[in-house]
């Protein structure tokens, strides 16, 4: 079972990135839950979701101990204390340049990723959430196959009537995947 938190400002696409990963899990015949943060804070610009993927039905869908935290802004680091030892924190380097001291953990891996820059470079400036999905897929490549995951991502947008962005989204997904792979080497 893998437990993930995607957190950022509203509009950064963290909810969508989480949904894509849930669909990726389904494409691998796994089970998934996706639960958004819910309440007044949603309207204050903060957004997050918890995604759990497992080979059997997921128990409680809410956050227990995360394997992965995707932190797209500084306030998202409040979840750092909920990451399990040995877990991973993925930071958007455009917004999270330094980790505040009180949020620093020595028992987790930090990666700093320029999601927006990657998206811009491949000519899909609005595709940073797809880049993020590619990054998580790479991080979980022992569970997820790159191309199966890409197809699941395309299917996700197809279902939303956004199939025409397939080319740009494919590029963004692979760019995120490859970037994370290069960091993991």
Partner 1 sequence: MAKKKMMKGNMAIAEAALRGGMDIYAGYPITPSTEVMEYLSGRMIDLGRVFIQAESELAAINMVFGAGMMGKRAMTASSGPGMALKQEGMSYMARNNTPAVILNVTRWGTGLGSLNAGQTDYLRDTRGGGEGGYRNIVFAPNSIQEAVDITYDSFEVAEKYQNPVVIMTCANLGQMEEPCSFPEFKTERPTFDWAMDGTGRGIAARQRGEGSIEVVGQHTLDKVNAMIENEQRWETFEVEDAEYVFVAFGLPSRACKDTVKALRAKGEKVGLIRPITIWPFPVKAFAKLGSQVKGFISVEGTNVGQMVEDVALATKKVKTNLPCYLLNHGGNLPTVKQITAFYEGVKAGNIKEVF
CB of 6 to partner 1, least distance (A): 13
CB of 160 to partner 1, least distance (A): 12
Binding residues for partner 1, rule CB under 8 A, total 22
Q: Which stretch binds partner 1 (CB under 8 A): 59-67, 68-76, 114-122, 129-137?
A: 59-67
Beta carbons of 85 and 106 less than 8 angstroms apart: no
36-55 positions binding partner 1, by CB under 8 A: 36, 38-40
Q: Nearer to partner 1 by C-beta: 42 or 183? A: 42
Q: Which of 11, 59, 100, 163 binds partner 1 (CB under 8 A)?
A: 59
Q: Virtual CA dihedral for 112, 116, 121, 125, nearest 10 degrees?
A: 160
2-21 positions binding partner 1, by CB under 8 A: 19
For 67, 78, 99, 141, the CA distances from 106, given in Å and listed in that order, are: 15, 15, 12, 24
CB of 115 to partner 1, least distance (A): 23
Contact between 149 and partner 1 (CB under 8 A)? no
Q: Tokens for 24?
A: 């990726």
Residue 113 makes CB contacts below 8 A (sequence gap 6+) with 90, 91, 92, 93, 131, 135, 176, 179, 180, 183
CB of 59 to partner 1, least distance (A): 4
Contact between 34 and partner 1 (CB under 8 A)? yes
Q: Nearer to partner 1 by C-beta: 10 or 61? A: 61
Measured distance CA(35)–CA(5) in Å, rounded? 10
Helices H / strands E in the chain, number of each: 5, 6
Of 76, 119, 82, the closest CA to residue 95 belongs to 76
In the complex, the residues that contact partner 1 under the rule CB under 8 A are 19, 22-23, 26, 31-36, 38-40, 57-64, 159
């Amino acid at each position: 079972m893998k437990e993930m938190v995607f957190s950022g400002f509203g509009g950064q696409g963290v909810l969508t990135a989480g949904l894509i990963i849930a669909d990726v899990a389904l494409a691998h015949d796994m089970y998934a839950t996706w639960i958004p943060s819910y309440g007044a804070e949603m309207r204050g610009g903060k957004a997050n979701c918890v995604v759990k993927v497992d080979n059997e039905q997921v128990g409680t869908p809410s956050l227990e101990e995360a394997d992965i935290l995707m932190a797209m802004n500084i306030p998202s680091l409040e979840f750092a204390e909920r990451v399990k030892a040995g877990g991973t924190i993925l930071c958007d380097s455009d917004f999270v340049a330094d980790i505040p001291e009180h949020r620093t953990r020595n028992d987790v891996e930090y990666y700093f990723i320029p999601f927006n820059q990657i998206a811009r470079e491949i000519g899909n400036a609005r595709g940073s959430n797809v880049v993020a999905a590619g990054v998580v897929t790479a991080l979980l490549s022992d569970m997820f196959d790159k191309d199966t995951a890409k197809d699941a991502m395309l299917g996700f947008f197809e279902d939303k009537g956004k199939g025409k962005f397939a080319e740009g989204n494919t590029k963004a997904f692979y760019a995120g995947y490859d970037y994370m792979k290069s960091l993991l080497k």
